[in-house]
């Protein structure tokens, strides 16, 4: 049977919040019996766009991570719910039963992704429904994916085997897989949010004038392991991305024409931009 999945490309998200607004437009003030009760206007973010800054100065990047309910295949929220108030549909969507979940505030803490929100006014635990009320009426996708102009959000209705091939081909991964919940939301380019980089700018002094060292060879060592090699661009810039935060001691080794080789050691805690490396 075909099931619903969501693919989120971190490299394409521009933090425009169209998805968030479409979700509000669909759910604030609207009751969908059997699916959801009205979402509060202020407070809850059924699709929550988180941000992460990496680096500094000229090599600073910001990545945005939209986080809705992951519609997990092994959902701890479902286990925590009393009276079977949370259930999983055959098409993969996880639904909080609006009536049975009334008063169960503890459900908010049962989700490791923080995807369940408490509605004080109605006394309900609520979350993203994958717009199941629309899909059941024949819609081909939920409201948030429909309005994402950059193509960062994509709903996929596929057999698990077919989805497995998409995951492999597009190199998709789960966010925080350590929770063991088997999410049905997959991320592309997640490293932009979860990993860090070492970048720098190499220059040489030619008769008192600083010039960019384009085409310099740069090697990244982690202990005795050669982690990667690259070449500086025309501005003398280089970058090694996808490194693990707090992963210890690295060394950058730079070779350029007849200039003396340079070695810089870095204790990697978070992304680093080494400005003006003068050979």
Minimum CB–partner distance for residue 190 and ligand SF4 (Å): 14
Tell me the pairing of strands 248-255 and 153-158. Answer: unpaired
Please state the φ and ψ torsions of residue 110, each to the nearest 5 degrees: -80, -15
Q: Which of 22, 65, 135, 203 binds ligand SF4 (CB under 6 A)?
A: 22
β-sheet bridge partners, residue 203: 212, 278
Per-position x/- string for 150-189, each x denoting binding to ligand SF4 as judged by CB under 6 A, each - no binding: x-xx---------------------------x--------
The three-state secondary structure class of 12 is helix
Token pair for residue 51? 């941000």
β-sheet bridge partners, residue 161: none
The owner of tokens 């993203």 is 128
Q: Which is nearer to ligand SF4, 108 or 167 (CB)?
A: 108
Q: Which is nearer to ligand SF4, 55 or 75 (CB)?
A: 75
Residue 91 in the binding site for ligand SF4 (CB under 6 A): no
The owner of tokens 């992704």 is 113
Q: Which is nearer to ligand SF4, 153 or 163 (CB)?
A: 153
Q: Which of 55, 92, 98, 142 binds ligand SF4 (CB under 6 A)?
A: 142
Kindly state the DSSP code that residue 175 receives in the 8-state scheme: S
Distance CA 75, CA 214 (A): 51
By CB under 6 A, what part of segment 222-241 binds ligand SF4? none
Q: Which is nearer to ligand SF4, 16 or 166 (CB)?
A: 16
The one segment of 126-134, 156-164, 225-233, 250-258 that binds ligand SF4 by CB under 6 A: 126-134
The three-state secondary structure class of 38 is coil
Burial pattern 107-120, b for ≥16 Cβ within 10 A else e, equals: bbebbbbebbbbee
Distance CA 196, CA 199 (A): 10
Residue 143 in the binding site for ligand SF4 (CB under 6 A): yes
Residue 72 in the binding site for ligand SF4 (CB under 6 A): yes
Question: Could you please report the per-residue DSSP string of 148-167?
Answer: -TTS-EEEEEE-HHHHHHHH
Minimum CB–partner distance for residue 189 and ligand SF4 (Å): 13
Number of residues binding to ligand SF4, judged by CB under 6 A: 41
The one segment of 67-75, 158-166, 200-208, 219-227 that binds ligand SF4 by CB under 6 A: 67-75
Beta sheet of 3-9, edge-to-edge order: 153-158, 3-9, 185-188
Q: Which of 2, 15, 102, 253 binds ligand SF4 (CB under 6 A)?
A: 15
46 burial via Cβ count (<10 Å: 0-12, 13-18, 19+)? buried
Minimum CB–partner distance for residue 261 and ligand SF4 (Å): 43
Minimum CB–partner distance for residue 257 and ligand SF4 (Å): 43
Minimum CB–partner distance for residue 16 and ligand SF4 (Å): 4
Q: Which residues bind ligand SF4 (CB under 6 A)?
A: 13-19, 22-23, 26, 46-47, 49, 64, 66, 68-72, 75-77, 94, 111, 113, 115-116, 127-131, 142-144, 148, 150, 152-153, 181
């Amino acid at each position: 049977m075909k099931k619903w999945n969501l693919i989120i490309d971190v490299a394409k998200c521009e933090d425009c919040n169209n998805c968030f607004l479409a979700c509000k437009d669909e759910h604030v003030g609207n009751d969908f019996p059997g699916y959801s009760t009205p979402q509060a206007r202020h407070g809850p973010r059924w699709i929550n766009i988180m941000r992460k800054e990496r680096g500094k100065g000229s090599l600073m990047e910001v990545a945005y991570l939209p986080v809705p309910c992951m519609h997990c295949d092994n959902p701890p929220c479902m286990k925590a719910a009393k009276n079977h108030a949370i259930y999983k549909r055959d098409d993969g969507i996880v639904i909080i039963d609006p009536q049975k979940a009334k008063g169960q505030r503890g459900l908010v803490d049962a989700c490791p992704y923080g995807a369940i929100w408490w509605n004080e006014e109605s006394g309900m635990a609520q979350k993203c429904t994958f717009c199941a009320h629309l899909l059941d009426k024949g819609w081909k996708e939920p409201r948030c994916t429909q309005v994402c102009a950059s193509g960062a959000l994509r709903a996929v209705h596929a057999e698990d085997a077919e989805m497995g091939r998409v995951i492999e081909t597009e190199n998709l991964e789960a966010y925080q897989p350590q929770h063991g919940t088997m999410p049905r939301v997959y991320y592309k380019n997640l490293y932009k949010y979860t990993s860090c980089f070492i970048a720098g700018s190499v220059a040489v002094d030619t008769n008192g004038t600083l010039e960019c060292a384009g085409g310099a060879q740069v090697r990244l060592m982690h202990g005795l392991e050669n982690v990667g090699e690259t070449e500086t661009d025309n501005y003398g810039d280089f970058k090694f991305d996808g490194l693990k935060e707090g992963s210890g001691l690295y060394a950058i080794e730079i070779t350029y024409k007849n200039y003396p080789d340079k070695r810089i050691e870095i204790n990697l805690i978070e992304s680093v931009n080494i400005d003006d490396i003068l050979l």
